Amino acid sequence: MPQGVVQAERIFDGTRWHSDAALVVEDGRVAAIRPAGPGPRLTGALVPGLIDLQVNGGGGVLFNNDPTPAGIATICAAHARLGTTATMVTLITDRPQVTAQAVAAAETADAPGLLGLHLEGPHLALSRKGTHDPALIRPMEAADLQLLTAAAARLPHLICTVAPESVTPAQIAALAAAGTVVSLGHTDCDAATARDAVQAGARMVTHLFNAMSQLQHRAPGLVGTALDDPRLWSGLIADGFHVEDAALRVALRAGGERIFLVSDAMSTIGTDLPGFTLNGRQIFRAGGRLTLADGTLAGADIALIDAVRHVHRALGWPLEQALRLASAHPAAALGLTDRGHLRPGARADFLCLTDDITAGGVWIGGTPVETT
């Protein structure tokens, strides 16, 4: 198993900084952080690897278009090169056979950094479809529930984004009991309905603010419920387009301990592609945005490290907090205790963060990742 010592000018263990320190790796896990000894030091800071719970694609591959183990491997590798050491590969609304293919691929894929599968749809609300194909959105049926509960038993982790309009509290409860993380999203539900879903077992909200009922003073909607209910974790896309910076600040102040950053990345990450197709529709890439022809946002053109940079530089959040939003928080949201930090016993997933907040080097399980 990978082992060794990596020395750096600074190491952030997820809680505090260590200056001129060495990270000791044994059997792919962190054994200790100790003062540096003789020998070279990396320029930059070692920090916990980033954990992205919503990744639709990367490296030229969109998971909907290539729901195979090879597609997963390409996506994970593209994001690993950019500092994301743990990835929930995401399939958005598609046909039942594609969902089944995605589940089978996630079961058999051998991709460093793969955490599991995030199924975003098809059981959503047409009124909040976003870029999802309305022809493929539908209520959950018995066969769907059977497939998902069986998948939850076989996959290391499964997130299902659903709308209360298309699922019942009993279905949410069955999914949660099977080990699925039920996330609410693409919904127009009111706060009372959202609370019923939480009571049934929902524990997450998908891309807060986007494609959901908004916060009003007499109608809190899903946004207000997410920021108020301590049982809910919320993903947030911090790319400067999906959520205006003032709203990002409000969300982080109101629910910062229960918010994690996601990329919602598409196939363009790590490439110079001008666009791609999704369910037969053309997605255009320009100015840092991905859109349908009508201007509807269609996922994001960022990796998770770009969201960290945005929170730190554009919002002025301390670097430590920005890093935790992309490491410790998603780990906690998924119930992971050995990731998101570099304390003894943690998986040796880390990156060397440059002054420009880019990945100068990446390790997964103590093994260096090729970054070029």
- Which residue carries 């009571």 as its tokens? 199
DSSP 235-263: EEE-SSSSS-HHHHHHHHHHHGGGEEEE-
If asked whether residues 235 and 310 sit together in one domain, one would say yes
Q: What is the pLDDT confidence band of residue 60, given thresholds at 50, 70 and 90?
A: very high
Over residues 299-317, mean pLDDT: 96
Residue 202 lies in a domain: yes
Domain count, the chain: 2
Residue 357 lies in a domain: yes
Q: What is the pLDDT of residue 2?
A: 67
If asked whether residues 92 and 186 sit together in one domain, one would say yes
pLDDT exceeds cutoff 90 at 372:
no
Q: Percent of the chain having pLDDT more than 90? A: 96
Name the DSSP class of 340.
S
3-class SS at 314? helix
Q: Which domain holds residue 18?
A: 4-47+343-369
Residue 318 lies in a domain: yes
Give me the CATH number covering residue 32: 2.30.40.10
Residue 177 lies in a domain: yes
Over residues 121-146, mean pLDDT: 97
If asked whether residues 175 and 212 sit together in one domain, one would say yes
If asked whether residues 90 and 41 sit together in one domain, one would say no
pLDDT exceeds cutoff 90 at 226:
yes
Over residues 72-86, mean pLDDT: 98
Over residues 331-349, mean pLDDT: 97
If asked whether residues 78 and 8 sit together in one domain, one would say no
Give me the CATH number covering residue 64: 3.20.20.140
pLDDT exceeds cutoff 60 at 125:
yes
**312-331 per-position pLDDT tens digit:** 999 999 999 999 999 999 99
- Torsion, Cα 109 115 119 120, to 10 degrees, reads -130
If asked whether residues 20 and 85 sit together in one domain, one would say no
Distance CA 332, CA 329 (A): 5
If asked whether residues 129 and 230 sit together in one domain, one would say yes
Distance CA 266, CA 36 (A): 40
Over residues 77-104, mean pLDDT: 98
If asked whether residues 187 and 308 sit together in one domain, one would say yes
If asked whether residues 295 and 364 sit together in one domain, one would say no
Catalytic residue among 133, 229, 264, 301: 264
306-to-17, 125, 263, 359 alpha-carbon distances in Å: 22, 30, 8, 10
Q: What is the pLDDT of residue 41?
A: 92
Structure token digits, residue 360? 């100068």
Q: What is the pLDDT of residue 370?
A: 82
pLDDT exceeds cutoff 60 at 268:
yes
Residue 282 CB neighbour total at 10 angstroms = 12
Residue 117 lies in a domain: yes
Over residues 104-119, mean pLDDT: 97
Q: Per the confidence metrics, is the pTM higher than 0.95?
A: yes
Residue 265 lies in a domain: yes
Pairing label, strands 350-353, 359-364? antiparallel
For 350, half-sphere exposure in the C-beta direction (CA atoms, 13 angstrom radius) is 34
Q: Which one, of 78, 84, 128, lies nearest residue 273 by Cα? A: 78
How far is residue 336 CA from its own chain's centroid? Answer: 14
3-class SS at 155? coil
**191-208 per-position pLDDT tens digit:** 999 999 999 999 999 999
Q: What is the pLDDT confidence band of residue 245, given thresholds at 50, 70 and 90?
A: very high
Over residues 348-368, mean pLDDT: 97
Residue 338 lies in a domain: no
Over residues 110-115, mean pLDDT: 96
pLDDT exceeds cutoff 90 at 168:
yes
pLDDT exceeds cutoff 60 at 188:
yes
If asked whether residues 25 and 120 sit together in one domain, one would say no
Distance CA 171, CA 167 (A): 6
Distance CA 265, CA 286 (A): 15
If asked whether residues 185 and 37 sit together in one domain, one would say no
Residue 365 lies in a domain: yes
Q: What is the pLDDT of residue 174?
A: 98
Active-site residue flag, 264? yes
If asked whether residues 40 and 95 sit together in one domain, one would say no
